[in-house]
Amino acid sequence: MLNSMLCHKCHRKLLATLLGRTSTTIGSLHRRLSVVFYGSDEFSLETLKVLNHDFKRHTSGDTTALITRLEVVLSSRHNIISRFAQQNQLTSHEFPYELPPKMYDLGVVSSFGYLIPNRAIKACRLGMLNIHGSLLPRWRGAAPVNYAVLHGDPITGITIMRVKPKK
C-alpha cells in the first residue's frame, strides 16, 4: 500500500511536468506524441495510468492532449500491466517485441526488468526515458522504494534518465 501511494503521487507530478516540457520542445509535432510503454508491476502501473489519462483525453476529442497513440510492451500476459492494458483497450505486444523503425515518438520504461534492445531504443524518434524508483545511485535494482523505506531514508524520489543503446 505504501509503495502504491508513494508511486502515485510522484509519478503524477513528474510525468505531468515531463509531458509539459516535452510538448514545448517538439515543435513540429504540435503537441502530438505516439508513445510505447514498457512496464511490469504496481510501480510502473502508476506511470501507465498517467500516460493513459492523457491518451484518453485525446480519444475523447480534447485537442490539448499530448499523447495520440499509446501502446504497451508486456513482460508477461499475466501481470497488472497486462490487465490494465486489456481493461483500457490498449494495444499490447509481448516482449520481445520488434518495434518498427520510427513508429513511435517516445518510449517510456518503468520497472520493466529486461534489457531493452538497441533497435527498440532507436525506433523511438525522440528517444526513450526510464523512470527509476529511487534517487540514483543510492538504491539500484528491483526494489528501490522498499530499500529506501527499510533503511529509513529521510529523502527519496524518482530518477528519470534517457535510455541509450549499449549503456
Answer yes or no: is 67 within a domain.
yes
Residue 88 domain flag? yes
- In a domain, residue 6? The reply is no
Q: In the prediction, which pLDDT does 144 show?
A: 72
Q: What does the H/E/C string look like for 53-88?
A: HHHHHHHCCCCCCCEEEEEEEECCCCCHHHHHHHHC
pTM of full prediction above 0.85: no
Name the domain count of the chain. Answer: 1
Q: Is residue 139 included in any domain, yes or no?
A: yes
Question: What's the CATH number where 59 sits?
Answer: 3.40.50.170
Within-domain flag for 21? no
State the average pLDDT over residues 3-10.
Answer: 47
Task: Judge whether 145 lies within some domain.
Answer: yes
111-152 tens-digit pLDDT: 898 889 998 998 898 889 988 777 766 766 667 777 777 888
Domain housing 113? 31-163
Structural domain includes residue 25: no
Give me the chain's average pLDDT, please: 80
Coil, helix or strand at residue 34: strand
Flag whether 36 is in a domain. Answer: yes
